[in-house]
Structure 1
């Protein structure tokens, strides 16, 4: 592949990046809060659960290995990682954003560990929906997807519950607890058939600039496992790469989501409708969190938004009042950006109106070569229905708190 474009995160300060990266991880978690509501409506609760299983199982092994390589903690021999490798991966996974999914880790030795969740934001979102939805998430979805994530490090790993919801008593804490055991006697975990489809995408194979080993801060995560990852301890170059990789996680998850929806949809039009609704919802919520975290204007928010990142995947040129988009690997994959353009302005509107409800976009050009120009309206736009649905999640208003980052040693 050709050399990647300079990251759009490059111009942020190290301090800004340390704020943005956990925001991006949380935004990735909220993709399902946007998408699954429309899957329930179209296919029912049980099929929604199967879509979730398939999308995470087909994407997380790919992006987990990418992050291992980027930050230098990949096992020397592929497939021989230990529980520390698995736990480090979870700390950099959109499936387990810090604090909102408050994983607490215990390492007994390299092959035996545990984790529990002191707070599970996903559970907080689902419990009001009733026990059937809790079981779908905490039993049907978690069992295969935890193993799929672990298998990226070692196919002999098994993640098994100690206890999990529905909570008895109703206020039980921690919310759940799990063992992680790697044993050569275990059968190899089996991958989902859709994994091969997602591995063939350009998103899975896109090359990003390596982390510069020079400069202040950590250029890798080769040191000890820590209780709470201190993003401020990473170097500027490492944080840029992490931000780009986290955006790729979102694209890979979305590509797997579309594959799973297409298996169940009545027509390509229904796939397009559900995919667009998912994008509009997460586009607005993501823009709101980025704007609030960094104080960005509409164009700056677009520049940092996962819709347009990483730059090596989505080709775009940003000016003071416009963004010009052209063909790119993301278009070839049918990623989010392919759902935007002339006559398909709603995802872009959701982004700019999260910053200022009086803003709008005028889009001109062709399907894959277009320019969106900011305009100001006389009346504020109402919330898009899809954004309002996504705001059901407690993650939309979640506030990160300062944490001490302490090394975890075997007990």
Structure 2
């Protein structure tokens, strides 16, 4: 159990190496589920084609920047396909096992990847071929290239085959080539991508990795068939967890930019708040279950110190205080996230929906109640009601995804992947 005294930087550092290794893939998966939370609301407002365009723009905006951050943090910067593939293994767009990427490296400029299992496809396939095409063609083409752009502007990701699946049970679900060629014309960086590159989220300094202690301190060396997070050091896992939370904030900022192009400010905030509400509840429940936390106030206090809504602490101004009886959360208004206008700015005394979903993801009897609000911040306490509150619609929508109940498995020692 982590300490719940207010501390600006120790939310993840208070966890054991084993708990961090369990938590990191959970955070990656919950990052992917942000789209499951948001897309249903976009379809209502903009239809299938409008939803697809917002998805393109949000991932284009965020993925090049968070990809570069992770490369630098784990010391695997480069300009080859190995670097691209390593980035995919640490990307909220490709959470391990749920999006089961497999890789082959032919040489430093040529490679292939395929998905033995695509959880996103499992979510969308029941909706029909038009939705599958929107995801696997319209969205993937520009966003895969945008992610590769972070490593080499001359990289191109092109399909070998992809859904709609013919025959209906085709495996692997899709397959792609990655080719780096100076003759490839680099994609143009879009204004929304440039805007995210100027954000405080992209520039924030997170916990440095201490090279003392047991375990891997970086991802230098060969590409591995899978990342086994328990092989990393405690300090490296802290940094990875912080970076993955930041990926979620960057994606949410990209989502908000894309939605603002299409509706007025009030409607943009309303849609993004619904997105946050859905993912906040599902993430809280998965963190609780993954770490085996109790569904009492002490368990909630731990979840609050780890939840991406209020992490990493270098980016989000927040304090959690628990004295054994009273649990209090303060959301300050002086953090870097407030400068960017990110997730916590969507919560105020009149709009507690994301916090209610979060606390009820730990226990449906919990309720957040405002005890103070001024320009410096919002303070809430958590009460325990006599009976459970009904699950809110936004959380129920997010749980339609197979990812909401997905279980990770131990795949043993990963193999290094060398040039064929």
| TM > 0.5 fold call | yes
Q: Which residue number in structure 1 is paired with residue 284 of structure 2?
A: 287
Q: How many positions carry a matched residue from both structures?
A: 402
Q: Is the 8 A contact 1:341 1:366 kept in 2?
A: no
Q: Is the 8 A contact 1:59 1:249 kept in 2?
A: yes
Kept in 2: contact 1:7–1:244 (CA 8 A): no
* Pairwise CA distance, 1:368: 4.9
Which residue of the partner structure matches residue 3 of structure 2? none
Query: Greater CA deviation, 64-73 or 371-380?
Result: 371-380
Distance in 1 separating the partners of 2:303 and 2:46: 34
- SS of the residue corresponding to residue 44 of structure 1 reads helix
- Aligned 8 A contact 1:63 1:204 in 2: yes
Moved more, 6-15 or 131-140: 6-15
Q: Secondary structure of the residue that 1:410 maps to in structure 2?
A: coil
- Residue of structure 2 equivalent to 1:273: 270
Q: 301, 304, 307: which is aligned to 2:306? A: 304
Query: Would you say the 8 A contact 2:17–2:234 is kept in 1?
Result: yes
Distance 1:333 1:25 in 2: 22
Give me the whole-angstrom Cα distance separating, in 1, the residues matched to 2:67 and 2:19: 24
SS of the residue aligned with 1:142? helix
Residue 261 of structure 2 is matched in structure 1 by 263
Question: How much has 1:237 moved relative to structure 2?
Answer: 0.5
Which position in structure 2 is the counterpart of 1:78?
Answer: none
Q: In the alignment, is the contact (CA less than 8 A) between 1:324 and 1:372 conserved in 2?
A: yes
Superposed CA offset, 1:51-94 (max 9, x none): 0000000100000000000000112xxxxx10000000000000
**Counterparts of 1:390 and 1:278, CA distance in 2:** 9
Q: 2:339 aligns with which of 332, 336, 347?
A: 332
Give me the TM-score of the superposition, normalised by structure 2: 0.94
Q: Secondary structure at the match of 2:151?
A: coil
The 5-angstrom pairing of residues 343-362 of structure 1 reads 343-362=350-369
Cα offset, 1:210, TM superposition: 1.6
1:5, distance to aligned residue in structure 2 (A):
4.0
Secondary structure of 1:189's match? coil
Partner residue of 1:67?
Answer: 70
Would the aligned equivalents of 2:329 and 2:379 in 1 still touch at CA under 8 Å?
A: yes
Alignment-derived partner of residue 376 in structure 1: 384
Mean Cα deviation higher: 345-354 or 155-164:
345-354
State the match for 2:124 in structure 1: 126
Return the alpha-carbon distance in structure 1 between the equivalents of residues 376 and 155 of structure 2: 43
* Offset, 1:340: 1.3
CA contact (8 A) 1:342 1:367 kept: no
The alpha carbon displacement at 1:193 in A equals 1.6
Q: 1:409 and 2:407 equivalent?
A: no
Distance of 1:13 and 1:92 partners within structure 2: 20
TM-score by length of 1: 0.96
Structure 2 unpaired stretches of 5+: 1-6, 294-298
Q: 1:244 to 1:10 in 2, by over 3 A?
A: same
CA distance in 2, matches of 1:231, 1:260: 33
Specify the alignment match of 2:49 in structure 1.
46
Give distance in 1, aligned partners of 2:66 and 2:10.
Answer: 18
**C-alpha spacing 1:50/1:368, structure 2 compared with 1 (3 Å):** farther
Taking the aligned partners of 1:47 and 1:368, their CA distance within structure 2 comes to 37
2:227 is paired with a residue whose SS is coil
CA contact (8 A) 1:341 1:368 kept: no
- 1:264 is paired with a residue of what secondary structure? coil
SS of aligned partner of 2:223: coil
Structure 1 position 187, deviation (Å):
1.1
CA drift of 1:304 comes to: 0.6
Cα distance between partner residues in 2 of 1:314 and 1:235: 25
- Contact 2:207-2:238 at 8 Å conserved across structures: no
Q: How far, CA to CA, are the matches of 2:186 and 2:270 in structure 1?
A: 38
Query: Which residue matches 1:58?
Result: 61
Quote the Cα distance in structure 2 between the aligned partners of 1:39 and 1:367.
31
Is 2:407 aligned against 1:399?
A: yes
Instruction: Give the deviation of 1:147 after TM superposition.
Output: 0.4
Runs of 4+, deviation exceeding 4 Å: none
Instruction: Please give the secondary structure, in 2, of the residue aligned with 1:161.
Output: strand
Match of 1:390 in 2: 398
Q: How does 1:187-198 map to 2 (within 5 A)?
A: 187-198=185-196
SS of aligned partner of 1:375: strand
